Structure 1
Amino acid sequence: MATTDRGQITLDGTTVSVTNLGKIFYPESGTTKAEVIDYYTRIAAVMLPHVVGRPGTRKRWPNGVDGQSFFEKNLASSAPQWLTRASLQHSDRVVTYPIFDSVASLAWLGQQAALELHVPQWRFDGSERGPATRLVFDLDPGEGVGLAECAEVARSIRDLVATLGWTAYPVTSGSKGIHLYVPLDRALDGSGASTVAKQIATGLEKLHPDLVTATMARNVRAGKIFVDWSQNNAAKTTIAPYSMRGRDQPYVAAPRSWDELDDPKLRHLLFDEVLERVESDGDLLGDLDPPVSAAVADTLAHYRNKRSADRTPEPIPAAVANETAGNTFVIQEHHARRLHYDVRLERDGVLVSWAVPKGVPTSAGENRLAVHTEDHPLEYATFAGTIPKGEYGGGSMTIWDSGTYETEKWREDEVIVRLSGERVQGRFALIRTKGDQWLMHLMKDQNASFGTEFPKNLEPMLATAGTLEGLDPQEWAFEGKWDGIRVILEYRSGTMSLRSRAGNDKTRDYPALAGLAAVLDGHDVVLDGEVVAYNDAGVTDFGLLQRGGEPVFLAFDLLYLDGVSLLRKSYSDRRTVLNALAGKVGELEVPPQIEGTAENALEVSTDAGWEGIVAKRRASVYLPGRRGSSWIKVKNWRTQEVVIGGWRTGQGNRAQGIGALLMGIPGEDGLTYVGRVGTGFSDRDLESLLAVLEPLRQKESPFEEELPADDRKGAVWVRPELVGEARFMDWTATGRLRHPSWRGLREDKKPGDVTGRE
């Protein structure tokens, strides 16, 4: 971006005034205000999903991090009108918060010297406070401990919530500790979320009293990690993922991988490092938050802010309508201060609107000015009446035409549609020229089956983590979830490309797939699928793919074929055309759907050793780059029979007993170590296990190899005679069970009955 001291930047059609760009916010690094604004605009794509729909509390440093700072909740009257906002009733006043839902809003954040953005764990549901969508644990190190100990506690919480069927995502806070986020698969209000988080934190304190405290008092934190569960209270906030921090250096609340947390040199990351990571790895929190449409990003906030229900007959719904695949349009004749015609197209639960002063063009040689206005609710499509004088848009309004439309192109700066109404029929283009100024143009008509432009660089639609419970197989289709790399395949005029979810070109990474060009020759096509490698058991194996296993492309969706966009067609229709294409060209592998109920799909996928199941609503359209609630993914928990080779002594309440069992599978010269399991036990389970294992004590380890130092610390070895069963997510590359949880002894089995990977 420009580095002059002041000016304006236009982002997605919104103009933001910026000043004092040369001011240094971080003296130690020399980082300027311009660099802060640049960071927030470049990180927006991955940051927005985690803050949209949530009230934003800002922490501002007007004179840089060496100066005074203050928190700001209420939005000043001087704030730009284009900012989305929502109000909350506090104990003594009503506070209007900004909602950060656009690149421009984050640029404004930087312009305000608001280095930090804090948000709660809930989203607005219309104009009301909604349920929590996630839990957060703030791991705060006391004196004498640091990130390494925070990482140890984070792993314990991860394993603990895994027994509840939840996944945890770590974020180094950019300050001292680690934040651990857990997406919720059920609705919890603020008190419910706090209760669950407190139970987990206090339970962990009992398991590890020498390392963990869940007590607020600061005098007990020395040498321990304080697991702050209180930030799940609806009235509290946490630094947002990807937010910068007001520290000596420009650190960031940075999402991390679990492998990184195993690094003893783990440290906080600077803003430029985070940008580089996102460029290569995408959003490590991609599965954390539900899709914006499911949580209702309030795109009607501008509309509501301009109107009052007690002064206008216009519809003012409390929330955006549920997203549908609707394709209606309406043109309204509006006798306001000046006559104009409002053109409105249904999209994503609202009516996207333009004011066209001279009406829609009637010949191909005309260009008509069209001013992009605020989104309107779907209810407005049938509105006709008189808006009182003095109110926004005051004057009479009638419906001039209405009907349906087909989308040929929909981009931020260009929309091409075919309108089919009673008075208007034809192909129209709306082209942005500057800011909210557009031109509306009647295009020269083609034949009725007009083709659409080849869509380049489509982003894949993403599934939402959830459950298959209650899904009707008449409405939902079930597919396998594959352990590979998601790609979009484009083939046109003899050229094929593969692009990853992050938009990176993967074509050269898989030269063995070049033969697909010959298979698809004669067609222009865009496919959504996965590059996988099959192991000897015929199961997709990401590790094998990474190690150079033979790549195979699995095509599971068809987005474009020979001039026809299928994005707005139903999943069932897309799948039918995909199967027909595969049958015609041959050698295009399309994984089969699983017939029957959701329960049957889970059983089939578990028996086959698949990663999981993806359920897709048969009537759903394809939403590029968005996490749609019409696609639901479920990962399989797997089970493995194991032989107990010993235990590690516990800490705290477990100090005199079992802290974790050491598990193995019989090999040629003893047990092959597959890891330790420390969750899934009740106190009674631990007492019973200790009673049956004590008589089996022996001096020598029964394992073939020497165990890692951390695993054999405090180990008690036993004769390998008892068989049990553990539940786990999958196998690690080193042959360990990932996220294991104990299920119990298998008294019906002998060690000789236990086999390898099941």
Structure 2
Amino acid sequence: MLATAGALPPAGVEDRWAFEVKQDGQRAMVYLPGDGSLLVRARSGTDITAAYPELLPLADALGPRSPVLDGEIVALDEQGHSDFERLQQRMGLVSAPAKAARMAARVPAHLMLFDLVHLDGRLLTKLPYAERRALLEGLGLAGPAWSTPAAITGHGAEAWAMAREAGLEGLIAKRLTSRYEPGARSKSWVKIKVHRVADVVIGGWVPGRGRLTGLPGAVLVGEPLDGLLHYAGSVGTGWSQTERTRLAELLQNAAIDACPFAQVPPVAGARWVLPQLVGEVRYTSRTRAGRLRHPSWHRLRLDIPLDDLTG
């Protein structure tokens, strides 16, 4: 079951929803037959058990009980937040169990459990979320590499504010009465992302294709530091057609031959511009290299002089 992007439920009905922290990892279904074995499948259905050897002790956690669990495999950063960039080092090691074991010591994975779809021969998908959640919590699944993070009923605005303050990716709101819909992207699960805002300087752009021919498909942005413009990523969404056309004119007028970034970004077909246009972008988080994750254009900031960014 997949979530639909959206906004917080209105305050008047938020007591009909539960709120969970949105994890940034690899979705997994976990099968415990009750015979001491364990099977972990990715969202695609691929068997990924061998990639995460630290999860193997989970096979004995419930004795003869046989649940099918839904969750997210994550790698945690120093603040205990899920970090997809860290997890990428663990993914794709199914055919290399020796390397997976070595990486488990360096970058441990953790399974965050949030739903229960089958238990002891009983299919639970028709039960409401609140009942499935109670059954899941009743299993008491908490171990060295797995846990059942809390879900808060109601208080959505407070939960979102806490997620934002803690630097988390966002929330998943789940309707208490909702059934589990296998394979469906349901409006009964809503993902609410916490977007951050940054002021950036445009240093280049990449021409669009198809209906965007002659217009910027994406702009390359950076942030000034110590007199240099440091590349922060590529932004390719968030414009209306009118805004994109206006930006194309500004970029054409600012064209230069040399790359203005401290290091040339690894972007094919890039065109460079004088770093004088300031924009505001929304993003979810940053990589360890400082790049913006999931950036989208918000607005051109003609009201901000470049000197305000450079100090």
Match of 2:299 among 740, 743, 747: 743
**Inter-CA distance 701–506: structure 2 relative to 1 (3 Å threshold):** closer
Whether the 8 Å contact between 1:639 and 1:725 is mirrored in structure 2 is no
Distance apart, 1:522 and its partner CA: 5.3
User: What fraction of aligned residue pairs are identical, expressed as a percent?
Assistant: 32
One-letter code of the match for 1:705?
Answer: Q
**Inter-CA distance 617–672: structure 2 relative to 1 (3 Å threshold):** same
Q: Equivalent residue for 1:474? A: 15
Distance apart, 1:648 and its partner CA: 4.8
How many residues in Structure 1 have an aligned counterpart in Structure 2? 283
Kindly report which structure 2 residues correspond to 1:345-424, keeping only aligned pairs within 5 A, or say none: none
Q: Equivalent residue for 1:680? A: 239
Distance apart, 1:553 and its partner CA: 0.6
Partners of 1:670 and 1:701 in 2: CA distance: 12
The alignment's TM-score, normalised by the length of structure 2, stands at 0.70
Whether the 8 Å contact between 2:196 and 2:282 is mirrored in structure 1 is yes
> Secondary structure, in 3 states, of the residue corresponding to 2:38?
strand
Partners of 2:68 and 2:41 in 1: CA distance: 11
Whether the 8 Å contact between 2:222 and 2:233 is mirrored in structure 1 is yes
2:168 maps to 1:627: no
Partners of 1:551 and 1:598 in 2: CA distance: 28
Whether the 8 Å contact between 1:732 and 1:738 is mirrored in structure 2 is no
Match of 2:38 among 483, 488, 496: 496
Structure number with greater CO (CA < 8 Å, separation at least 6) is 2
Q: Equivalent residue for 1:114? A: none
Partners of 2:108 and 2:18 in 1: CA distance: 29
Distance apart, 1:563 and its partner CA: 5.9
**Inter-CA distance 606–562: structure 2 relative to 1 (3 Å threshold):** same
Q: Equivalent residue for 1:463? A: 3
Structure number with greater Rg is 1
Distance apart, 1:709 and its partner CA: 5.7
Partners of 2:185 and 2:294 in 1: CA distance: 28
Whether the 8 Å contact between 1:612 and 1:633 is mirrored in structure 2 is no
One-letter code of the match for 2:16?
Answer: E
Kindly report which structure 2 residues correspond to 1:698-713, keeping only aligned pairs within 5 A, or say none: 701-708=259-266, 710=268, 712-713=270-271
**Inter-CA distance 705–576: structure 2 relative to 1 (3 Å threshold):** same
Distance apart, 1:573 and its partner CA: 2.1
One-letter code of the match for 2:2?
Answer: L
Whether the 8 Å contact between 2:206 and 2:219 is mirrored in structure 1 is no
Q: Equivalent residue for 1:32? A: none
**Inter-CA distance 514–683: structure 2 relative to 1 (3 Å threshold):** closer
Partners of 1:578 and 1:608 in 2: CA distance: 26
One-letter code of the match for 2:273?
Answer: V
Whether the 8 Å contact between 1:641 and 1:723 is mirrored in structure 2 is no
Match of 2:130 among 569, 572, 577: 572
Whether the 8 Å contact between 2:197 and 2:280 is mirrored in structure 1 is yes
Q: Equivalent residue for 2:50? A: 508
Match of 1:483 among 24, 29, 32: 24
Whether the 8 Å contact between 1:545 and 1:551 is mirrored in structure 2 is yes
Kindly report which structure 2 residues correspond to 1:647-686, keeping only aligned pairs within 5 A, or say none: 647-648=204-205, 662-667=220-225, 670-677=228-235, 679-680=238-239, 686=246
Whether the 8 Å contact between 1:555 and 1:591 is mirrored in structure 2 is yes
Partners of 2:37 and 2:300 in 1: CA distance: 55
**Inter-CA distance 710–508: structure 2 relative to 1 (3 Å threshold):** closer
**Inter-CA distance 705–658: structure 2 relative to 1 (3 Å threshold):** same
Partners of 2:184 and 2:212 in 1: CA distance: 43
Q: Equivalent residue for 1:538? A: 80
One-letter code of the match for 1:545?
Answer: L
Q: Equivalent residue for 1:521? A: 63
Partners of 2:56 and 2:187 in 1: CA distance: 32
Match of 1:726 among 257, 281, 303: 281
Whether the 8 Å contact between 1:614 and 1:631 is mirrored in structure 2 is no
Q: Equivalent residue for 1:617? A: 175
Partners of 1:650 and 1:502 in 2: CA distance: 33
Whether the 8 Å contact between 2:216 and 2:244 is mirrored in structure 1 is no
1:723-754 Cα offsets, whole Å, 9 max, x none, are 5421246668983554521334273993257x
Distance apart, 1:524 and its partner CA: 3.0
